[in-house]
Amino acid sequence: MDAKTYLARIGAPRVTSSDLPTLTKLIQHHLYTVPFENIDIHEGKPIHLHPDEIAQKIINHRRGGFCYELNSAFANLLKELGYQVSLLSGRVRTSTDHMALLVRLDQDYLVDVGFGDSFRYPLPISGAKRKDVSGWYRIRLRTHPNIYALEKRKGRRWLPEYLFTTQERRLEEFEGMCIHQQTSPTSIFRQKFLCTIATPGGRLTVSDHHFTITERGKVQKIPINSIEKRRDIIQYWFRMNY
């Protein structure tokens, strides 16, 4: 991985230190420039968990991807920049159906650039609450010794977004679920088209039949009546060619 070209892809300046403020900026640069999307799945193009292939897709083709692609690529970038990073297995519906990252600094932080509309800052494993553009988040220990829940506050309640373990995983351990997500009729990624990217004040989201612009709590939903229109929106608003 060439860290310099990756940083240029996400519009980030040269990195001079591997600290928490820099990590926060890198996360936000990534979220604002690399979409969470499943276009290849809907076009029948297989996704392989090969680091060079993923990096080429994101950097050279200016595409995005889903969690296994985005978080594994971001982990490799962080390692090149001097961070201590581990791949984590998460569970939204079934085991290993999500990948997240653990970054070790003054304490351990959950990092995730592959979960759509979620937190945008390193989130302490300690359980400290953090306010974000899309709400309040925290991590809570669910089962001793190392099963945690990423939770989001909805009204007065804290509800789980996904569970995860802090056990370090290898990239190849996600290959089976990556194939399942692409091929199984029960996979949400096969059932629904999605291309979404964060903005400083909200989010842009293209689904099967709508283009949704969320900005500082205000939502504008624009109907999409053809695949051609959807492609035009993605090319214009996301600056993507596919």
For the record, the structure tokens of 85 come out as: 């990073």
What residues have CB less than 8 Å from 200, skipping those under 6 apart? 32, 133
Q: How many CA atoms lie within 13 A of 168 on its CB side?
A: 8
For the record, the structure tokens of 96 come out as: 């290993």
Cis peptide leading into residue 145 (ω within 30°): yes
Q: Is 112 a catalytic residue?
A: yes
Q: Is 48 a catalytic residue?
A: no
Q: Is 106 a catalytic residue?
A: no
Distance CA 140, CA 125 (A): 8
- Tell me the CA distances in angstroms from 172 to 68, 87, 105, 180, one per residue in order: 10, 11, 26, 14
Distance CA 159, CA 241 (A): 37
Estimate the share of the chain in helix, then strand, then coil, as percent rounded to the nearest 5.
30, 30, 35
Catalytic residue among 30, 40, 97, 112: 112
Enumerate the active-site residues: 67, 98, 112
